[in-house]
Amino acid sequence: MTPISLINKVIFLGTPDFAVPTLLKLSETKYKPVLVITQPDKPQGRKLRLTPSPVKKAARSLGIEVLEPENIKKDEVFELLRTIDPDVIITAAYGGFLNRRILNLPTCGCLNLHPSLLPLYRGATPINHALFNGDEKTGVTIAGMVLKMDSGPVYKQQVVPVSTDDNYSILSPKLARLGAEMVIEVLTLLENDNIEAIPQKEEDATYCYKLKKEDLFLNWAEPAQKIHNRVRGLADNPGAVSFFRGNKIKILETKLLEERADLPPGTVSELKKNEGIVINCWDDKILLTKVQPAGKRVMTAFEYSIGARIEKEENFISGDSNRP
């Protein structure tokens, strides 16, 4: 390998909570970014107030300059980056694509932190889909960047077991913390000319898509295991959605039961004291343990059943994109 100069100027691109640990870890080292690029403020909440991304908030607290381009491919953005003359650009869930001239700009190239075992789950939602599919392992990959999404050569990869208790809210921070450590390791190895990138096997590639509104709705006519995995992959945010008595309700936690369904899908079979609400699925029953009714706080399903005075054989209705 050609000797690489010291890495002094780092530019970091990221947007959600997942990217924050990497930014914080970089800032604790000599690789503290000279510039952070993130997505522009987005309207959030009922009042649709413009809200900065988690990465923007973190960068400001660290005293790092922040850039929020509507389109990172514009000439003025490239000219600014060229003026900085970065040694490396690091991305972690940025939410936008870099063009060829940006990819070719850094002396040491561009690195991407991706929460999957690439080439598996290329795309925007690898953690969600690993849980949807009931995978028993996932991982983190640090890869070089090329024009094709998540297809660059792999510098470092680490496998992470997926516990049966893991959901998105547990697994995502776990992978984010691991990824932050791995980024520092890769940068150190790059500086010491002691790492080689291995091309991905295209024939093994799988893809995952950005979640749509209809992906949040549960279908009680599906197998209990599939419903349980859907809840795990969406909990606690944005949360899986069903309808009860005409109102939307988020299903945030479930437990599989080894009991065959004895009523139509979505029907309440039993109210288990201090445990939750037993619902019939296509094949088996499932126990709802944590929910969030529309406009209310998160609560145990049993607490909700008492307050709502739920009765046996009432129905939770499968959602679809045409419902409110």
How do the pLDDT tens digits run along the chain, 324 residues long? 444 458 999 999 999 999 999 999 999 999 999 999 999 999 987 788 999 999 999 999 999 999 999 999 999 999 999 999 999 999 999 999 999 999 999 999 999 999 999 999 999 999 999 999 999 999 999 999 999 999 999 999 999 999 999 999 999 999 999 999 999 999 999 998 889 999 999 999 999 999 999 999 999 999 999 999 999 999 999 999 999 999 999 999 999 999 999 999 999 999 999 999 999 999 999 999 999 999 999 999 999 999 999 999 999 999 763 343
* Sole residue written with tokens 């969600």: 128
In eight-state DSSP terms, residue 286 is: E
Q: Which domains does the chain have, with CATH numbers?
A: 10-208 (3.40.50.170), 213-317 (3.10.25.10)
Interatomic CA distance for residues 98 and 93, integer angstroms: 12
pLDDT of residue 2: 45
pLDDT of residue 284: 98
pLDDT of residue 323: 41
User: Strand 88-92 to strand 66-67: parallel, antiparallel, or no bridges (unpaired)?
Assistant: unpaired
pLDDT of residue 196: 93
> Tokens representing 72?
């990172």
CA distances from 174 to 17, 36, 85, 235 (A): 12, 23, 33, 15
> Tokens representing 211?
């979640």
Ordered alpha helix ranges (H), 105-197: 126-132, 168-191
DSSP for 204-223?
G--EE----GGGGB--TTS-
296: Cβ contacts below 8 Å, ≥ 6 apart = none
Asked if the bond preceding 153 is cis, omega within 30° of 0, the reply is no
Run of H or E including 241: strand 240-244
